[in-house]
Protein backbone atom coordinates (compact mmCIF):
# COMPACT_ATOMS: atom_id res chain seq x y z
CA UNK A 1 0.00 0.00 0.00
CA UNK A 2 1.18 3.53 -0.74
CA UNK A 3 0.36 6.64 1.25
CA UNK A 4 0.55 10.22 0.03
CA UNK A 5 1.90 12.83 2.42
CA UNK A 6 1.39 16.51 1.68
CA UNK A 7 4.62 18.34 2.48
CA UNK A 8 5.56 22.01 2.64
CA UNK A 9 9.23 22.95 2.44
CA UNK A 10 10.19 25.91 4.62
CA UNK A 11 13.63 26.05 3.04
CA UNK A 12 14.67 25.91 -0.59
CA UNK A 13 18.23 25.01 0.39
CA UNK A 14 17.56 21.44 1.43
CA UNK A 15 17.07 18.52 -0.91
CA UNK A 16 13.58 17.11 -1.15
CA UNK A 17 12.74 14.11 1.03
CA UNK A 18 13.22 10.79 -0.64
CA UNK A 19 11.54 7.46 0.04
CA UNK A 20 14.08 4.86 -1.04
CA UNK A 21 12.31 1.67 -1.97
CA UNK A 22 13.90 -1.61 -0.98
CA UNK A 23 16.66 -0.27 1.27
CA UNK A 24 15.42 1.02 4.60
CA UNK A 25 11.95 2.50 4.57
CA UNK A 26 12.94 5.17 7.12
CA UNK A 27 13.27 8.55 5.42
CA UNK A 28 16.27 10.78 6.10
CA UNK A 29 15.72 14.31 7.40
CA UNK A 30 18.04 17.23 6.72
CA UNK A 31 19.19 20.17 8.80
CA UNK A 32 17.65 23.36 7.41
CA UNK A 33 20.35 25.70 8.70
CA UNK A 34 24.05 25.78 9.48
CA UNK A 35 24.49 25.20 13.19
CA UNK A 36 27.60 25.64 15.32
CA UNK A 37 27.39 24.07 18.76
CA UNK A 38 29.78 24.00 21.69
CA UNK A 39 30.17 20.91 23.85
CA UNK A 40 27.31 20.81 26.33
CA UNK A 41 24.99 23.02 24.30
CA UNK A 42 21.38 22.21 23.43
CA UNK A 43 19.57 23.33 20.29
CA UNK A 44 16.36 22.68 18.44
CA UNK A 45 17.59 22.09 14.90
CA UNK A 46 15.03 22.98 12.23
CA UNK A 47 14.34 20.35 9.60
CA UNK A 48 12.80 22.73 7.05
CA UNK A 49 9.58 20.80 6.52
CA UNK A 50 5.95 20.76 7.65
CA UNK A 51 3.63 17.90 6.74
CA UNK A 52 0.04 16.81 6.78
CA UNK A 53 0.34 13.21 7.94
CA UNK A 54 -2.32 10.75 6.79
CA UNK A 55 -5.34 10.51 9.12
CA UNK A 56 -4.68 8.01 11.91
CA UNK A 57 -0.90 8.20 11.70
CA UNK A 58 1.90 9.83 13.68
CA UNK A 59 5.56 10.16 12.76
CA UNK A 60 8.55 8.98 14.80
CA UNK A 61 11.82 10.88 14.44
CA UNK A 62 15.08 9.29 15.62
CA UNK A 63 18.78 9.94 14.94
CA UNK A 64 20.51 8.09 12.13
CA UNK A 65 22.91 5.48 13.47
CA UNK A 66 25.84 7.56 12.19
CA UNK A 67 24.62 10.82 13.76
CA UNK A 68 26.56 10.49 17.00
CA UNK A 69 29.77 9.39 15.32
CA UNK A 70 29.64 12.16 12.71
CA UNK A 71 28.53 15.13 14.81
CA UNK A 72 28.67 14.04 18.48
CA UNK A 73 24.95 14.79 18.78
CA UNK A 74 22.45 13.07 21.07
CA UNK A 75 18.74 13.50 20.43
CA UNK A 76 17.53 14.54 23.86
CA UNK A 77 13.98 13.22 23.61
CA UNK A 78 15.31 9.89 22.26
CA UNK A 79 12.43 9.80 19.80
CA UNK A 80 10.39 12.74 18.55
CA UNK A 81 6.68 12.16 18.12
CA UNK A 82 4.96 14.25 15.47
CA UNK A 83 1.21 14.26 15.96
CA UNK A 84 -1.24 14.30 13.09
CA UNK A 85 -2.56 17.65 14.40
CA UNK A 86 0.89 19.22 13.89
CA UNK A 87 0.01 20.09 10.31
CA UNK A 88 -0.08 23.88 9.92
CA UNK A 89 2.02 25.81 7.42
CA UNK A 90 4.38 26.93 10.20
CA UNK A 91 4.44 23.60 12.07
CA UNK A 92 8.02 22.98 11.18
CA UNK A 93 9.61 19.74 12.36
CA UNK A 94 12.54 20.17 14.74
CA UNK A 95 14.98 17.78 16.31
CA UNK A 96 16.22 18.62 19.83
CA UNK A 97 19.94 17.91 20.00
CA UNK A 98 22.62 17.97 22.70
CA UNK A 99 26.23 18.40 21.57
CA UNK A 100 28.72 16.19 23.39
CA UNK A 101 31.63 18.00 21.72
CA UNK A 102 32.18 21.19 19.70
CA UNK A 103 30.53 20.48 16.37
CA UNK A 104 29.24 21.97 13.13
CA UNK A 105 26.16 20.85 11.27
CA UNK A 106 25.76 22.10 7.74
CA UNK A 107 22.58 22.85 5.91
CA UNK A 108 21.34 19.73 4.10
CA UNK A 109 23.21 17.31 6.41
CA UNK A 110 21.12 14.20 7.05
CA UNK A 111 20.99 14.24 10.85
CA UNK A 112 17.82 12.25 11.56
CA UNK A 113 15.28 9.90 10.04
CA UNK A 114 11.56 9.22 10.40
CA UNK A 115 8.79 6.82 9.62
CA UNK A 116 5.03 7.03 10.08
CA UNK A 117 3.16 4.69 12.41
CA UNK A 118 -0.52 3.99 12.85
CA UNK A 119 -1.94 5.53 16.03
CA UNK A 120 -2.58 3.14 18.87
CA UNK A 121 -6.22 2.24 19.62
CA UNK A 122 -8.20 4.35 22.08
CA UNK A 123 -7.42 3.33 25.64
CA UNK A 124 -9.59 3.41 28.74
CA UNK A 125 -7.90 2.66 32.09
CA UNK A 126 -9.83 0.34 34.38
CA UNK A 127 -8.59 0.46 38.00
CA UNK A 128 -8.19 -2.73 39.99
CA UNK A 129 -6.51 -3.84 43.26
CA UNK A 130 -5.56 -7.25 41.89
CA UNK A 131 -4.41 -7.98 38.38
CA UNK A 132 -4.56 -11.71 39.19
CA UNK A 133 -1.48 -12.75 37.23
CA UNK A 134 1.85 -14.20 38.41
CA UNK A 135 4.72 -11.72 38.92
CA UNK A 136 7.48 -11.77 36.36
CA UNK A 137 10.19 -10.81 38.83
CA UNK A 138 11.13 -7.16 38.75
CA UNK A 139 12.84 -4.81 36.37
CA UNK A 140 15.79 -6.36 34.54
CA UNK A 141 15.40 -9.79 36.14
CA UNK A 142 15.27 -11.85 32.93
CA UNK A 143 18.37 -14.01 32.57
CA UNK A 144 19.52 -13.49 36.18
CA UNK A 145 20.08 -16.73 38.03
86 binding ligand DUT? (CB under 6 A): yes
Catalytic-labelled residue, pool 83, 89, 91, 102: 83
In the set 81, 101, 104, 119, which binds ligand DUT (CB under 6 A)? 81
Give the residue with the Cβ less far from ligand DUT, 9 or 94: 94
Give the CB-nearest residue to ligand DUT.
80
User: Which segment (13-21, 63-71, 92-100, 115-123) binds ligand DUT by CB under 6 A?
Assistant: 92-100
The answer to whether 21 is a known catalytic residue is no
CA distance 102 to 36: 8
61 binding ligand DUT? (CB under 6 A): yes
Phi, psi of 70 (to 5 degrees): -75, -45
CB of 126 to ligand DUT, least distance (A): 25
Give the residue with the Cβ less far from ligand DUT, 39 or 79: 79
- Applying CB under 6 A, the site for ligand DUT has a residue count of 11
Which residues carry out catalysis?
A: 83
Amino acid sequence: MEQTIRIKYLSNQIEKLDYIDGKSDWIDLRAAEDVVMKAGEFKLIPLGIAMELPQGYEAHVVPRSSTFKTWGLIQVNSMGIIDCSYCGDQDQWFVPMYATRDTEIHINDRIAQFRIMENQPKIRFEMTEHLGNSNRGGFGSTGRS
